[in-house]
Amino acid sequence: MKFTATLFLLSLLVGCSPDVVQIGKVNMISNRNVESSAPYVLIRNYAGTESKDALKKSEELTIESAIDRVVRATPGGEFLKNVKLYRVRDRYFAVEGDVWGLEQNRMMRGFRPGHAVQWKADLKLRRKLENRSPLAQGVIVELKDDRVCTVKETTTGQVLELTYEELTRVEN
């Protein structure tokens, strides 16, 4: 009976362990060489953890791969500062921190802020295209991550979030 009660309590403790546990903090971390005299700028705050659910979904097997995932998902990212390291489900790792990089390297899939682009208007504008081209045009405002960017539509000024696959670059 005593053994059964001990097993029951042990299973409760194991079952109640949190999915995400912070295991450390570091001032700066990188998997690449950092040039000390380069003019690095802050590109994105608190990258890597848009929500606690994002942390729980991490399946990075090493801290190095967790760092790479966050840095590479940020256009122009080179290294992290003010980093928190997490252990996820006792098996995986995740990191969050401020991504720093070189402004001139801020590019993702051939796009930069300020590039003129076009896309199928009916994808996002949700309006009738009476006497209009089926393509909308705009300018990239921000490269959010490795999947989407924000674009300001030229005729309406509406700011949209579009994937890079939806966009075609237009020469100015």
Q: What percent of the chain has pLDDT over 70?
A: 80
pLDDT at 97: 92
pLDDT at 31: 86
Q: How far is CA 131 from CA 82, 128, 134, 138, in A?
A: 52, 9, 9, 18
Mean pLDDT of 87-107: 86
pLDDT at 12: 44
pLDDT at 13: 45
**Quick one: pLDDT band at residue 133, thresholds 50, 70, 90?**
low
pTM: 0.66
* Residues 144, 74: Cα–Cα separation, whole Å: 7
pLDDT tens digits for 61-88? Answer: 999 999 998 888 888 889 999 999 999 8
Low-confidence winner among 11-25, 49-63, 155-169 (lowest mean pLDDT) = 11-25
Mean pLDDT of 117-141: 70
Report whether pLDDT(47) > 60. yes
pLDDT at 132: 57
**Which residue from 22, 72, 25, 30 is spatially nearest to 47, judged by alpha carbons?**
72
* Residues 89, 19: Cα–Cα separation, whole Å: 5
* Domain extents in the chain: 18-105, 116-170
In CATH terms, is domain 116-170 a member of 1.10.357? no
pLDDT at 64: 94
Query: What are φ and ψ of residue 119, in 5° steps?
Result: -160, 165
